[in-house]
């Protein structure tokens, strides 16, 4: 009888341990699922069928573009919402990004070409140098470099600062350049990461304009 009690107690203890392990396992799976969901919210390059150039798949495709409000080079607050009714290309770039520099003249040219149809480019500078909010010297240095770059490249569209603060909302931008094409209703209709071509950009602009 005593032996039975001991065995029963041991079994109950083991059951309790495994119940705990099961709970821990469930909790872990929950966390893993959340991580997966968070991961799925990041854009990624997906291999094209037939081994072509990988295509960028954004979690924002077909969804409302995340709202933002950033300072431009003159310190004026600019919000995406204020462009509702226009097709907008939100282009994340940085001064140190060679491919960004390559595509900038294309953006200038295409902006001029389609501005009359209600199209605008918002160049969102994303230096990714982890400056703290109170690092005035760091921000001033960044701003000076950006001002110079913008003048050199004749970027006549609004250039906004501190793109790092909104990059997560746009799918976690690990690579630049990154472009999001937004239609007149504020919906993302196309996205790309990396240097594409002027033709591809123009095609996406026309898509945003619903031509």
Angle CA(70)–CA(75)–CA(81) in degrees, nearest 5?
Answer: 35
Binding flag, residue 18, other proteins (CB under 8 A): yes
Measure Cα distances from 76 to 44, 158, 170, 176 in Å. 33, 10, 22, 25
Q: Exactly one of 90, 97, 155, 160 is catalytic; which is it?
A: 97
Q: Which is nearer to other proteins, 36 or 67 (CB)?
A: 36
One of 2, 3, 132, 154 touching other proteins (CB under 8 A): 3
Subset of residues 177 to 196 that bind other proteins, contact rule: CB under 8 A: 177, 193-196
Span interacting with other proteins, options 19-27, 67-75, 83-91, 182-190, rule CB under 8 A: 19-27
One of 34, 129, 147, 211 touching other proteins (CB under 8 A): 129
Subset of residues 71 to 110 that bind other proteins, contact rule: CB under 8 A: 94-102
Measure Cα distances from 169 to 62, 64, 67, 111, 166 in Å. 15, 11, 9, 25, 5
> From CA 58, how far away is CA 47, in angstroms rounded?
14
> From CA 211, how far away is CA 208, in angstroms rounded?
8
User: Can you say whether the dihedral through the CA atoms of 132, 133, 138, 141 is positive or negative?
Assistant: positive
Q: Which is nearer to other proteins, 196 or 204 (CB)?
A: 196
Quick check: is 37 catalytic? Answer: no
Question: Nearest Cα to 162, choosing from 123, 126, 131?
Answer: 126
Binding flag, residue 124, other proteins (CB under 8 A): no
Q: Which is nearer to other proteins, 12 or 210 (CB)?
A: 12
Q: Exactly one of 88, 100, 191, 193 is catalytic; which is it?
A: 100
Question: Nearest Cα to 87, choosing from 181, 195, 177, 152?
Answer: 181
Binding flag, residue 159, other proteins (CB under 8 A): no
Binding flag, residue 25, other proteins (CB under 8 A): yes
Catalytic residues: 97, 100
């Amino acid at each position: 009888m005593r032996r039975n009690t001991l065995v029963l107690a041991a079994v109950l203890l083991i059951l309790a341990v495994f119940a705990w392990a099961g709970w821990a396992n469930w909790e872990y799976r929950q966390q893993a699922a959340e991580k997966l969901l968070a991961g799925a919210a990041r854009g990624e390059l997906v291999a094209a069928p037939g081994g072509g150039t990988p295509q960028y798949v954004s979690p924002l495709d077909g969804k409302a573009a995340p709202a933002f409000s950033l300072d431009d080079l003159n310190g004026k607050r600019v919000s995406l919402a204020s462009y509702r009714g226009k097709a907008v290309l939100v282009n994340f770039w940085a001064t140190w990004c060679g491919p960004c520099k390559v595509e900038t003249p294309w953006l200038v040219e295409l902006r001029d070409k389609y501005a009359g149809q209600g199209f605008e480019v918002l160049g969102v500078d994303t230096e990714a140098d982890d400056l703290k909010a109170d690092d005035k010297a760091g921000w001033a240095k960044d701003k000076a470099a950006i001002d110079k770059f913008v003048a050199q490249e004749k970027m006549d569209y609004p250039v906004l600062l501190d793109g790092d603060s909104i990059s997560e909302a746009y799918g976690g931008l690990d690579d630049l350049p990154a472009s999001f094409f937004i239609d007149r209703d504020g919906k993302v209709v196309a996205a790309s990461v990396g240097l594409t071509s002027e033709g591809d950009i123009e095609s996406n602009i026309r898509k945003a304009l619903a031509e």
